[in-house]
Structure 1
Amino acid sequence: MKLKHMFASLLLAVVVWACSSKAESERGSANQSTTADESVIPVKLTKVTTVVRAEPVTASGLVSSAEEARLSFKVGGIINKLYVDEGQFVRKGQLLATLDLTEINAQVSQAQLATEKAERDLDRVKALYADTAATLEQLQNATTGQNVATQNLTIAQFNRSYAQIRSTVDGTVIRKLMNEGEFASAGAGVFQISSNRPGDWVVRVGVSDKDWARLRLGNRASIILDAYPDHTFTGTISELAQAADPMNKLYEVEVRINPGRVKMAPSLFAKVTLQPAQSRSYAVIPVEAIVEGNGKDGFVYTLADDRKHVRKIPVQIGFLDGGKVLLTNGLSNVTEIVTAGSAFLTEQSTVILN
């Protein structure tokens, strides 16, 4: 009887173990299936469209005068007198500063004495040559010496005439860079003068090479100054640089402003919107397709050749237009990009079309 009970207990244990193993096996299969399903990301594709538009170019810069002058002395010396201060209005030709002429006058006197001596020497050699007591070479050398002395006198007198600074434009002294008693080397700026005629105000801004290519002289512009936020000024492009700035790689565009009756001053901050005459083509995609956006740069995903994985493509953003993004570069030969699900993707992701 005991043997029967032991056999029944053993049989029951075997049945329980078999059922438990089957249940664990089924649960494991279900977990593997769930994990496999979770590693496949459903995505949605959207076609890339193109549009041709003449979109404005926006940039910022500072107001300045088209006729600005940085005035300096022709020769070096000690500044004797400054006749104007910053903010003062000056007329073209007005005397602004002079140097101490002690040294310069001495140089003129030296040149004058050297010229007189050279003339006496020449007269003496001419008389000797007439008496056949001097050679032709001596006469030629004396003539050359007299000519050189005369030219040196001309240089000294010219330098003395430019030992002063006179205004080259009607305008305002916007900066005084030196004071009386300082040594001014030749060509070192002493005053910065800005013309204040209404038609001379401009804004200079930098644009990219692609925007520069769309702009033309005479294109219209609208300008908003921080000093006058409620007023929009009109202007036209007056100059286009033919080479990029080596520091920032941007092309300078000069926009001439029509100030009307508004008071202008140099260095006012301006926001400029340029209206190019030439249009360009943009690739258009939904904004949700952009991942890792940083300023003008971003990325999008497109399906790989096997249609089960994705490729990450860098793009350059032109601007936003509602829920659309207009791209200036990056999607050549790409017809479809991933929209829904793009935020969860990596280049190792497996995808399925939703």
Structure 2
Amino acid sequence: MDFNPFPMKTPLLYPRFVLSDLVMLITLAMLANACQKKKETTATLSEEIVAVKTVAVSRESQAEPIQASGLVQSETEARLSFKTGGIIQKIFVREGQSIRKGELLATLNLTEIDAQVRQATESVTKAERDLARVTNLYKDSVATYEQVQNLTTALNVSKQNLEIARYNRSFSEIRATSGGVVIKKIMNEGELAGPGSPVFYVNATGPKDWVIRVGVADKDWIRLKPGNKAEVKFDAYANQPYPAVISNLSAGADQVSGLYQVELKLTVPVPKLAAGIFANTLIFPAVQHSLESVPIDALVEGSNQSAFVYVVQGDRAKKVPVRVAYLNGQRAFIESGLNGISQVITDGSAYLTDGVKVKLP
């Protein structure tokens, strides 16, 4: 029996199976790669192209307008009162009534005041009588010169007291200081009116007597001065704009609101106005700044002062962040973000995303 140190083993089939699987994997990979290239080619052929239009970025020198709301008020407002205190005898007008300058509005009961006038008159008569008697005695060397001087002074004081009494009597009635309307009747007949206590609240209502008073913040107040132009709109007149100018600026802030009062005077007549009508104003400061501006249509995704614009870079749309200073009409004034940019996309900007392919006309 022959001995073989290297006996023949049964041939293994595993290597054969591995080779066939490898061939299959390679084939599948080639097919997958071909399919992927086909998809990429299809995607490339069907890539969206957005038609857009651009406009030029312009630079303008303009002041940021200040928006504020307020009320129509009369420039001539009066709180009419009696100079002296007393019982109100008669009131001749009612609330809402039109009045003429100099018209009698109310009177006091004059019993006490007339008595004061008579008392002052009697004091003058007595002082004159005393002075005359002492003067005659002085001529006869019976009275002294000092007595004459004292009685002369007493007479002068009595005359001044009479003048005061007559003056107070003349102001024991209330007369209209100007033509206008009685806005409020504060007291009624029979009430005790103190000296200087308001009885009527009166507004002048002439065409040139109306003003609009609005409140602005300190950062806006420092930019304003009398004579600056403004535009006023009234809800009562369908927001029709009326030109106005600043006639006065307050020197201090309101204690309640913390705002500074600005008074505007209309430069054209309004058909009919009354105290308390609401007004929206747009004030244009004289101080101007040079800013870049674009149409409002160019802005997308705005939030507060932040927004974006699209520009054309090659054949693609590029999204650029900007900071908006303010809007005026159909223009947006840009504080920053447009350095080196001369054109922005307007038409088609709503359909764009960053990097999308675009086509210009």
Is the TM value for this pair above 0.5? yes
Deviation per CA, 1:78-105: give whole Å up to 9, x if none: 1111111111111101111111100100
Please state how far the C-alpha of 1:287 moved relative to its aligned partner: 11
> 1:111 maps to what in 2?
120
> 1:189 maps to what in 2?
198
| 1:263 aligns to 2:272 (yes or no) | yes
Q: Name the stretch that deviates more: 202-211 or 178-187.
A: 202-211
Change (3 A) 1:123 1:281: farther
> 1:172 maps to what in 2?
181
**Counterpart amino acid of residue 72 in structure 1:** S
Please state how far the C-alpha of 1:139 moved relative to its aligned partner: 1.3
> 2:89 maps to what in 1?
80
User: Is the partner of 1:256 in helix, strand or coil?
Assistant: strand
Which of the numbers 61, 78, 81 marks the counterpart of 1:69?
A: 78
Deviation per CA, 1:196-252: give whole Å up to 9, x if none: 111211011122233222212222111122322332222111112233334444322
Please state how far the C-alpha of 1:166 moved relative to its aligned partner: 0.7
| 1:240 aligns to 2:243 (yes or no) | no
Which of the numbers 147, 153, 156 marks the counterpart of 2:162?
A: 153
Change (3 A) 1:323 1:277: closer
Q: How many residues align?
A: 254
Please state how far the C-alpha of 1:318 moved relative to its aligned partner: 7.2
Query: Aligned equivalents of 2:215 and 2:300: distance in 1?
Result: 27
Q: Name the stretch that deviates more: 231-240 or 255-264.
A: 255-264
Which of the numbers 227, 230, 247 marks the counterpart of 1:218?
A: 227
Query: Aligned equivalents of 2:78 and 2:218: distance in 1?
Result: 29
| Stretches of structure 1 lacking an aligned partner (at least 5 in a row) | 1-50, 297-316, 328-354
User: Is the partner of 1:235 in helix, strand or coil?
Assistant: strand
Root-mean-square deviation (CA, aligned residues, Å) is 3.1
Query: Aligned equivalents of 1:90 and 1:232: distance in 2?
Result: 31
> 2:23 maps to what in 1?
none
> 2:45 maps to what in 1?
none
User: Is the partner of 2:177 in helix, strand or coil?
Assistant: coil
> 2:218 maps to what in 1?
209
Please state how far the C-alpha of 1:189 moved relative to its aligned partner: 0.9
Deviation per CA, 1:57-89: give whole Å up to 9, x if none: 111111011112111111111111111111111
User: Is the partner of 1:134 in helix, strand or coil?
Assistant: coil
Query: Aligned equivalents of 2:239 and 2:131: distance in 1?
Result: 77
| Stretches of structure 2 lacking an aligned partner (at least 5 in a row) | 1-59, 292-298, 306-323, 337-361
Q: Name the stretch that deviates more: 128-137 or 241-250.
A: 241-250
Q: Quote the sequence identity (%).
A: 50
**Counterpart amino acid of residue 212 in structure 1:** W
8 Å contact from structure 1 (residues 82, 180) kept in 2: yes
8 Å contact from structure 2 (residues 325, 333) kept in 1: no
Give TM-score scaled by structure 1 length.
0.64
User: Is the partner of 1:243 in helix, strand or coil?
Assistant: strand
Please state how far the C-alpha of 1:260 moved relative to its aligned partner: 3.2
| 1:96 aligns to 2:105 (yes or no) | yes
Give TM-score scaled by structure 2 length.
0.63
